Structure 1
């Protein structure tokens, strides 16, 4: 049974609360291509099992606009798995994968029904060569990319017929709180939050005082750096660096790219960098190339990238990351020079001392009135040109209810940016999902081609 006082964490609450501005909707989508239609009976059974293994998928968010306490997760007394899993067919003559991606993009455009649990699955059948596509969408407040992948792993098998999965886990029992209980819980939460903040501040003060006594110069320098970094983090960045791509809309355009993994990892090893550095380098290359080809050359752009903070002890649900925001150059240089150029920049951004204070910032934002939280988040997010994230996927091929998974592509929410590019490694491939705003990216197909060309420079 879900605990009545199981409230959203600070990051979760902010991601949930900012959607009063529809440009900041935060649905995460996994686009899965199968070699054939999944078994309908198995899909029904597996979806039921998934929601019992992860009860958050049976819970709705319950909040009060007059209370500063974050929304509470509460088991939906009207939970209906059939509402969340839908079977669809594309129009006759549709162009296979592009049409399925367009369907997924429309799902990305749409908001959830907030009176129900915040996830849904669409299964598209009758694609070319008998293939099918599965579109799994979950709200970012439910889980981050790593958590969402961990939950969806329960849908996958290492063979087409895994046999008996064992007894079905027990279903959570709905026990909604009454009005008085809700007020009591909210008051208790607010008191605990204030106490936690006061204790944290006192500890920070004692730590700083001790540091000043034992190492005054180092402590002072570190404090100044952290304060400056935190001030830069919370300062509104202004408009996007690309004036040509500054418009925003509610519409999404989805493109996907697949490139071999081994040449990319070989290039990363040769340069002494990570796969993530190669990924960001290719994004910078593509962004600069796309601008130059269209007569809008620019020298730099702003990137927002999540830095994973998840530990083995963390729950699959919820968000365990901090946002790193940094500016990257887009000058036309060769692949080797770009990797060397970006290595230090990205590592500095990932180790920014202000990132340790992100939780404090988001806890404060979560306790503010929704309209103010939304305004602050919009100021931080809408000045970003590109958001980028990467998640490690299954290293070997997997199956979904009897059908082999041919591709597993992540599409992260635009979250105020012109483009959000998600990378997932799967069975020897790098799969990239490009979620672009057509109001900013006039030709999403051309940008996708630029990104594919950029990766080819490193696949040597």
Structure 2
């Protein structure tokens, strides 16, 4: 495992830090069973981790390794269920997904499961995919899922199935060699990073001693901030934590968010966080309290085009966002430098070294260290681009792809995924922290509605909101005596 993968797997000594990604795929009809099984089998062969289990030793400083399961049972990982109709299709599917998400994996088997739910309203169906975060992150998961999806209703002929990975149980000598190889690669990699920073820092120190000294100090402070315990959550309301989850979802047109980003000269991610911040403030006010700032954990992807699908290529950026700015334009403006600073924090460049150090510590120590960093987070916000056009799964059209990312010690994780001109929000809330998940979802919807109104305002006036503010300022100046 890579260092980040190993940390995500190892910290589950504390169940509150379980790292499970659950994705709900809604279909307009029942998928062809044989086609779905064939495509899922191909999926597990193209990406061998889906046939591998984590194996490690608490006596080794090397992280766990992926080892092909000699008893891999394909039917164990995929189940077909006819869902009883009780509340209606979306609610019933989300309730099933909640229960599925709460169950821990059998670590003696590969860390993924799939449930195919049929007999929904109007002949619809759903596929729930549950996968451990140590296998992949959100963007890597979308790349891996390309094997499961088609561009046309008729599944194309992809040719013979690839050969499955051959099970091999490493002996003691091989395990020692694996650990040695890993340590050597990590040492070389870390030394290269450190040497590059040292050489660059030395050059800057000679040519620009004042600025380089300030930059070095900033790096030290930022690194200390990254590994420092976060303290209790800032929310006076969302403090308790449990193993339970509550799944809710929202949907908005992607062009509307893009219009707001254009109108405010910002990014979709800034618009997203501003809408969530406004919604969380609303929720607190309706629960009889107020909150002026919240601590957020936002994964920053460092995945490149050359990186293979799977694995984790992201860095956790933790920072505080103000929530008491009422004007949505001002809120976006206020968030812009905060998000930019978090995404370009100098400590992110050495996070790989920090994760490597965490894997070398005893698992209990790593769990305590990560827990102290994560449990003070109020909410997680993650943004993943999905397929830009409609896709199909075993002959059925995909009508929605809803991500539910792990809470990771936070009160709620709000994940955004774009799909075919829409953005779908999967809200994973801890009922111990969020006593009324339905009300929270309503408040977040209102937060988005408030933000999305800015795009309509811009379209009506024909100016960016920055232009409007400037024009208003000039008008005020012109009437002053």
**Change in CA separation of 1:183 and 1:244 when aligned onto 2, cut-off 3 Å:** same
Partner of 1:185: 178
Partner of 1:84: 77
CA-to-partner distance for each residue in 1:229-258, whole Å, 9 max, x for gaps? 111111111000013110000000000111
CA-to-partner distance for each residue in 1:70-117, whole Å, 9 max, x for gaps? 011111111121111111122343432111101111121111111111
Shift of 1:30: 1.0
Partner of 2:25: 32
Does residue 384 of structure 1 match 2:377?
yes
Partner of 2:315: 322
Does residue 51 of structure 1 match 2:35?
no
**Is contact 1:396–1:426 with CA below 8 Å preserved after alignment?**
yes
Partner of 1:216: 209
Unmatched runs of 5 consecutive residues or more in structure 1 = 1-7
TM-score normalised over the length of structure 1: 0.96
Aligned equivalents of 2:29, 2:169: Cα separation in 1: 41
Shift of 1:195: 5.2
Query: Which segment drifts farther, 53-62 or 140-149?
Result: 53-62
Partner of 1:5: none
**Is contact 1:235–1:380 with CA below 8 Å preserved after alignment?**
yes
**Is contact 1:412–1:421 with CA below 8 Å preserved after alignment?**
yes
Partner of 1:408: 401
Does residue 277 of structure 1 match 2:270?
yes
How many residue pairs get aligned? The number is 453
Aligned equivalents of 2:198, 2:188: Cα separation in 1: 15
Does residue 124 of structure 1 match 2:146?
no
Shift of 1:144: 0.4
**Is contact 1:108–1:413 with CA below 8 Å preserved after alignment?**
no
Partner of 2:360: 367
Q: Secondary structure at the match of 1:262?
A: helix
Instruction: Decide which structure has the larger Cα Rg and report it.
Output: 2
Shift of 1:261: 1.3
Query: Which segment drifts farther, 47-56 or 170-179?
Result: 170-179
**Is contact 1:47–1:81 with CA below 8 Å preserved after alignment?**
no
Partner of 2:254: 261
Aligned equivalents of 2:85, 2:447: Cα separation in 1: 35
Q: Secondary structure at the match of 2:104?
A: coil
Query: Which segment drifts farther, 185-194 or 42-51?
Result: 185-194
Query: Which segment drifts farther, 177-186 or 423-432?
Result: 177-186
**Change in CA separation of 1:199 and 1:401 when aligned onto 2, cut-off 3 Å:** closer
Within the candidate set 104, 109, 113, 1:111 is matched to 104
CA-to-partner distance for each residue in 1:261-285, whole Å, 9 max, x for gaps? 1111111111111111110001100
Unmatched runs of 5 consecutive residues or more in structure 2 = 457-481
Aligned equivalents of 1:441, 1:204: Cα separation in 2: 44
Partner of 1:98: 91
Shift of 1:13: 0.5
Q: Secondary structure at the match of 2:50?
A: helix
**Change in CA separation of 1:206 and 1:163 when aligned onto 2, cut-off 3 Å:** closer
